[in-house]
Amino acid sequence: VRMIFNPETGHRLGEAQLLNHFPNHYELTRKDLMCKNIKRYRKEQEKENTQLSEKDEAGNFKYLDIIPMTFILPGDYPMFVEEFRRNPNATWIMKPSGKSQGQGIFLVSKLGQLKKWATSSKLPFQSLALKENYVISRYIDNPLLVGGKKFDLRIYVLVTCYKPLKVYLYSQGFTRFCTEKYTPDCAELDNMYVHLTNVAIQKHADTYNDKHGGKWNINNLRLYLEMTRGKEKTDKCFDDINKNIYVALKAVQSVIINDKHCFEMYGYDILIDSNLKPWLIEVNGSPSLTTTTEVDRKLKMQLLQDTFEIVVPHDWGSTDANRGANTCKEKAVGYYSLIIDESIIDDKKKPG
Amino acid sequence: AEDPEEEEKEITTRIIIYDHNKILDELLKMKSENYAAEPSLAWGSIHVVLQTKSLEELRNKFTELNVALRQIGVDEDKAFVDERLLIGEKLVQKNAIPLLVQYAKRGIPHTLRPSVYRKIMCFDSGEKCAHYFEKLQDHFTKWEMALDEVLRGDIKEFCNDDKFFIFEDTLSPIIYSFFRDPYVFGHCRVQPNKPFSAFTEKDQRVGYMPPAGVLPCDLFSRYAGPLLYMSDKPQDLYFIFRGIDIKYVSCLHSITSHPQGIISLAKLFEDLLQIYEPEVWFHMQKIGVSPLKIAFPWIFYMFVGFLEVDQILYLWDRIIGFDSLEILPILAASIFAFRAKLIQNCNTHEEIDEIFYDLYQLKVIPLIQHFLFATETTQIN
C-alpha cells in the first residue's frame, strides 16, 4: 500500500479506483504503533483536560483506559523491569509487533524467562538488536469465562474517512473460544489452547469442533449476559466497547494520511474481563475473510456485501460519478450502522 | 486420524431411540375407525378427527397478543421495557405466581426471565430443591444406566450447534439427572407410554427404567437449549427444565387425543393453513409437498434449532403465559402465510426446501400477531 502512495513511483490512483487500506494504516494496526499512539493521545487529552480524559475516584481514566499496561521492547525494557518488580506476581504477554494469527506470542511470569528467550549471550537486553519490536502487556488473567473457557470478540468496524471521522459498526460479530478450560495455573502458561483465542491456533487442538468452530455470535453473548448479569451491566459493557473503538480511532486520527480513495474495514479484537470491562487487544487491518463454518461463511459474505454497498458509489463507472469511498449518505446499511460522523459540524455528542 | 481403522472407530453411529419422523409417520397412519360422518376438512394428512379451535376462538384465547397491546418481542422503547421490568420485579418479589403467568403473556424482559421462569416452574425453591438435585447427581456418579450412552451421544450432537456448544458442561448434569428423576412419570400433563418397570421377586414394582419413566427422542437436549442462556448453574435450571418437560414436552411426545397433544397440534396447523391460506395449501398439494412434513419438526422441537435464541424465548414466554402449545402451530402457519408468494412461485420440492431452510431472520411475535389478528375470517364454512 505504501508503494501506491509513494510520490516517487509516479503512479497515482485513478479517479474511480478504491483502495481498502489507508496509506499508513500500520499506525493503528501494528501493535507497537497503536500502543504508542494511544499513549500519546492520552497525554494530549489529559493536558487539555478534555471530557474524554475524565478520571474516576480511584484516579483511573474513565474512557481512555482501553489497553492493558504495555511496553515496547527493546526500548522500554528498563521501565518494564521497574513495573515488573513492583508486581512480581503479575503475568505478562509478549507479542511480536508485526505478526498475526498468534504467531510468536508467549506468556512471561518471571524476568528470567524473558532474558533466556532474548539471548544466549551475555549482552544486556536493551542493547540487543532484536529482529523486530515486541510489545509486552500486562496479561489479563481474569478474563470473562463462559462454560469455563476464555474467549475474545471479533468486531468489524468500517472507516470511510478519517478527517472528518466517519465510522460504521457491524452488528454481527462473533466470539472466538479456546478449546480448553481456562486456568491461571503456572504449569499451563505455555498451553496455547488455554490462553490464545486465535482460530489459527485453536483449530489444531484435538477437541476443536469444525461444526461450530468455537465461534459464538456476539448477539447471543449479549443475550446470555443480559439474563445472567442484568441489562444495566451488559449495556454498559457494550457501550464501553463502542467507546474503545472510538478512542482507538481518535488516537490515530491526526497521524493517518487521509485519502478519499481509501477505506478500511478493521477487525477489532476485544477481550472482556470478569468485571465486564472490555479491553482493546489489537486492531487488524486485514481481518481474515476465510471461513471455518457455514454460519461463518454467511456472516462474512454478508459483511463483504454490506461493505461494498457502502464504499462503492452507486453510480460508479459513469463519467460524472461521485468519487471515492466516502459517498454513502445512509445511517444504516445491512448490518452496519453509522456510529461516528464528524462531518456533522454541530453534533458535539460523545459516542454511546 | 490417518489410519482407516482408527477412522472407522471414530464414526460411531449414535443410538437414537426415536425421532420426530417416526412420530409423524405414526400420526399419518392413524384413522378414526369409529367416525361415521364425513369430516368437514378431508384434505389434511392427519386423518384423526379431533376438534381444533377456529381463528375466532384463538383470537379470544390469545387476546393479550393483540396488535393493539405493546409486547416484549416487538416493542423496544425504553419506557415500555422499564415499565414491564417494574411490574415484573414487584410480582417476583411478592411471589404472585398466577399473576406472573398472566404477566408472561406479553413477554418477559430478558433480565427478569430467569427469575420469572423459576417462580412459575418450581414454586418450592431453596434448600429442598438443591438437595434433591444433588441426590440425582449422586445417582449419576454412582450408577451408570444403559441410557447414558444414548444421552451422551445426544448431548454431543446437540453441542455441535453454534448457539449452544459453550454450555455443554451446564447441559450434561441436567440431562443425566432428568432421566434419573422418579418425579417425572407421575407428573406429566399427558401420560407417557408404559415404561419398562423393575419388579422384585414378589412381583412388586419397585421403579421404572429409566426412573423418569420416559425415553428420550432424538436431540432431546434441544428442550434445555434456550434455558442454558439463563444461568451457569445446573441446579438453578434443572427444575425449570423439568417443569417445561412435564407440562409441555410430554404433550409433544405422546400419541394422545389430549387437546394439547401432538396430534391436535398437527391438525390445528393443517386446519389453519387450509382455511386461511387455501392457495398455498392447494399449490403445495399440486407440487406434491406436504406442509406438515415441513412444519412438524418446528412444532415437535418447540422451534429450538430453527429460530434465534431470543425469538425462541419470546415464544416460550407465551407458551408459559397462555399455558398452551397451540401457539406453535399458529406460528408455523403464520410462517407459511408470510412466505405465501414465495411458495406459490415454487415448482419443486427443492425450491420449497430452500424457502424454509433458514428461519433465523424471523421475528415471531409480529408474525403471530399478524396471522391471528389481521387475517380475514370471512371465508369460513
- Helix/strand/coil (H, E, C) string of A279-335? EEEEEECCCCCCCCCHHHHHHHHHHHHHHHHHHCCCCCCCCCCCCCCCCCCCCEECC
- The confidence band for A320, taking pLDDT boundaries of 50, 70 and 90, is low
User: Does B169 sit within 8 Å of A230, measured CB to CB?
Assistant: no
User: Does A220 sit within 8 Å of B229, measured CB to CB?
Assistant: yes
Does A291 lie at the interface with B, CB-CB under 8 angstroms?
A: no
Q: What are the cell numbers at B284?
A: 403445495
Q: What are the cell numbers at B325?
A: 402449545
What mean pLDDT is predicted for residues B266-279? 94
Q: What are the cell numbers at B289?
A: 409437498
d(CA B312, CA B296): 16
- Using a CB-CB distance cutoff of 8 angstroms, which residues of chain A are in contact with residue B162? 211-213, 215-217, 293, 295
User: Residue A132: helix, strand or coil by DSSP?
Assistant: coil
How many CA atoms are closer than 13 Å to the CA of A112, on its beta-carbon side?
Answer: 0
Can you count the helices (H) and strands (E) in chain A? 10, 13
Closest CA to A125 of A102, A108, A101: A108
In chain A, positions 3-62, which contact chain B (CB-CB < 8 Å)? none
Q: Which residues does residue A151 pair with via DSSP β-bridges, in sequence order?
A: A177
Is A119's pLDDT higher than 70? no
**Is the distance from CB of B151 to CB of B212 less than 8 angstroms?**
no
pLDDT tens-digit map of B239-250: 999 999 999 999
**Is the distance from CB of B223 to CB of B249 less than 8 angstroms?**
yes
Is A114's pLDDT higher than 50? yes
**Is the distance from CB of A164 to CB of A179 less than 8 angstroms?**
no
A134-138 sheet: strands from edge to edge? A70-73, A134-138, A92-96, A106-108
What are the φ/ψ torsions at residue B206 (nearest 5 degrees)? -110, -10
Q: Which of A12-21, A87-96, A155-164, B261-270 has the lowest mean pLDDT?
A: A12-21
Is B37's pLDDT higher than 70? no
Q: What are the cell numbers at B339?
A: 412466505
- The pLDDT assigned to A352 comes to 44
- The pLDDT assigned to B200 comes to 80
Residues in Cβ contact with A285 at an 8 Å cutoff, skipping those fewer than 6 apart: A21, A25, A26, A28, A29, A264, A266
Does A235 lie at the interface with B, CB-CB under 8 angstroms?
A: no
Angstrom CA distances, A200 to A135, A208, B46, B277, B309, stand at: 21, 11, 51, 50, 28
- Using a CB-CB distance cutoff of 8 angstroms, which residues of chain A are in contact with residue B310? 219, 223
User: Does A220 sit within 8 Å of B309, measured CB to CB?
Assistant: yes
What are the φ/ψ torsions at residue B49 (nearest 5 degrees)? -90, 95
- The pLDDT assigned to B341 comes to 94
d(CA B135, CA B133): 5
User: Does A293 sit within 8 Å of B165, measured CB to CB?
Assistant: no
State percent of chain A over pLDDT 90: 63
Question: Which of B114, B166, B308 shows the shortest C-beta gap to A216?
Answer: B166
Does A226 lie at the interface with B, CB-CB under 8 angstroms?
A: yes
Is B381's pLDDT higher than 50? no
- Using a CB-CB distance cutoff of 8 angstroms, which residues of chain B are in contact with residue A205? none
Q: Give the number of beta-carbon pairs within 8 Å between A and B.
A: 61
Closest CA to A323 of A261, A250, A272: A261
Q: What are the cell numbers at B27?
A: 400420526
State percent of chain B over pLDDT 70: 92
User: Does A147 sit within 8 Å of B166, measured CB to CB?
Assistant: yes
- The pLDDT assigned to A41 comes to 95
Nearest CA in chain B to A145: B166
Q: What are the cell numbers at A245?
A: 473503538
**CB crowding A133-145: b at 16 or more within 10 Å, else e:** bbbbbbbbbebbb
Is A350's pLDDT higher than 60? no
User: Residue B76: helix, strand or coil by DSSP?
Assistant: coil
- Using a CB-CB distance cutoff of 8 angstroms, which residues of chain B are in contact with residue A213? 162
Question: Mean pLDDT of all residues in chain B?
Answer: 89
Estimate the share of chain A in helix, then strand, then coil, as percent rounded to the nearest 5.
35, 20, 45
Is B264's pLDDT higher than 70? yes
User: Does B161 sit within 8 Å of A226, measured CB to CB?
Assistant: no
- Using a CB-CB distance cutoff of 8 angstroms, which residues of chain B are in contact with residue A231? 85, 109-111
The CA-based dihedral angle spanning residues A35, A39, A41, A43, taken in that order and rounded to the nearest 10 degrees: 180
Does B114 lie at the interface with A, CB-CB under 8 angstroms?
A: yes
Does B230 lie at the interface with A, CB-CB under 8 angstroms?
A: yes
What mean pLDDT is predicted for residues B263-285? 94
- The confidence band for A110, taking pLDDT boundaries of 50, 70 and 90, is confident
Distance from CA of A8 to the nearest CA of B (A): 50
Distance from CA of A293 to the nearest CA of B (A): 9
- Using a CB-CB distance cutoff of 8 angstroms, which residues of chain A are in contact with residue B167? 146-147
Q: Which residues does residue A280 pair with via DSSP β-bridges, in sequence order?
A: A270
**Is the distance from CB of A69 to CB of A62 less than 8 angstroms?**
no
- Using a CB-CB distance cutoff of 8 angstroms, which residues of chain B are in contact with residue A215? 162
Does B254 lie at the interface with A, CB-CB under 8 angstroms?
A: no
d(CA A256, CA A249): 10
User: Does A224 sit within 8 Å of B109, measured CB to CB?
Assistant: no
Cα A317–chain centre separation? 34
- The confidence band for B75, taking pLDDT boundaries of 50, 70 and 90, is confident
**Is the distance from CB of B37 to CB of B260 less than 8 angstroms?**
no
- The pLDDT assigned to B129 comes to 77
Measured at the alpha carbon of residue B273, what is the angle toward residues B271 and B274, in degrees to the nearest 5?
Answer: 65
Question: Which of B161, B168, B230 shows the shortest C-beta gap to A228?
Answer: B230
- The confidence band for A344, taking pLDDT boundaries of 50, 70 and 90, is confident
Count of C-beta atoms within a 10 Å radius of residue A188 = 16
Is B125's pLDDT higher than 60? no
d(CA A141, CA A58): 21
State percent of chain B over pLDDT 90: 72
Does B165 lie at the interface with A, CB-CB under 8 angstroms?
A: yes
Mutate to test the interface with A, among B166, B170, B361 (most CBs of A within 10 A): B166
Distance from CA of A6 to the nearest CA of B (A): 45
- The pLDDT assigned to B199 comes to 79
Is A6's pLDDT higher than 90? no
Is B51's pLDDT higher than 90? no
Ramachandran region, residue B288 (left: φ > 0; alpha: ψ -120 to 50; beta: rest): left
- Using a CB-CB distance cutoff of 8 angstroms, which residues of chain A are in contact with residue B231? 227-228
Burial class (CB in 10 A: 0-12, 13-18, 19+), A235: middle
**Is the distance from CB of A313 to CB of A283 less than 8 angstroms?**
no
What mean pLDDT is predicted for residues B111-135? 83
Mutate to test the interface with B, among A176, A223, A298 (most CBs of B within 10 A): A223
Burial class (CB in 10 A: 0-12, 13-18, 19+), B250: buried
d(CA A232, CA A225): 10
d(CA A155, CA A245): 9
Is B357's pLDDT higher than 50? yes
Burial class (CB in 10 A: 0-12, 13-18, 19+), B345: exposed
Ramachandran region, residue B249 (left: φ > 0; alpha: ψ -120 to 50; beta: rest): alpha
- The pLDDT assigned to B322 comes to 97
pLDDT tens-digit map of B180-208: 999 998 899 988 878 888 778 787 777 88
User: Does B114 sit within 8 Å of A212, measured CB to CB?
Assistant: no
Distance from CA of B263 to the nearest CA of A (A): 33
Q: What are the cell numbers at A288?
A: 481474515
Question: Which of A149, A223, A295 shows the shortest C-beta gap to B310?
Answer: A223
Nearest CA in chain A to B234: A147
d(CA A349, CA A339): 11
Question: Which of B161, B169, B231 shows the shortest C-beta gap to A147?
Answer: B169
> What ipTM was assigned to the predicted interfaces of this complex?
0.92
User: Does B162 sit within 8 Å of A295, measured CB to CB?
Assistant: yes
**End-to-end CA separation in angstroms for chain A:** 33
Nearest CA in chain B to A294: B162
How many CA atoms are closer than 13 Å to the CA of B242, on its beta-carbon side?
Answer: 27
Q: Which of A105-114, A210-219, A317-326, B98-107 has the lowest mean pLDDT?
A: A317-326
Is B292's pLDDT higher than 80? yes
Q: Which residues does residue A337 pair with via DSSP β-bridges, in sequence order?
A: A169, A332
**Is the distance from CB of B239 to CB of B224 less than 8 angstroms?**
no
d(CA B376, CA A337): 38
For B226-276, list the strands marked E by DSSP.
Answer: none
| Enclosing H/E stretch for B333 | helix B327-338
| Enclosing H/E stretch for A105 | none
- The pLDDT assigned to B38 comes to 62
What mean pLDDT is predicted for residues B345-353? 93
User: Comparing B321 with A186, which gets the higher pLDDT?
Assistant: B321
Is B1's pLDDT higher than 50? no
Measured at the alpha carbon of residue A285, what is the angle toward residues A63 and A177, in degrees to the nearest 5?
Answer: 75
d(CA B132, CA B138): 10
- Using a CB-CB distance cutoff of 8 angstroms, which residues of chain B are in contact with residue A209? 159-160, 165
- The pLDDT assigned to A120 comes to 46
- The pLDDT assigned to B8 comes to 47
- The confidence band for A132, taking pLDDT boundaries of 50, 70 and 90, is confident
- The confidence band for A323, taking pLDDT boundaries of 50, 70 and 90, is confident
How many residues are given for chain B? Answer: 381
Sign of the dihedral through C-alpha B39, B43, B47, B51: negative
- The confidence band for B253, taking pLDDT boundaries of 50, 70 and 90, is very high
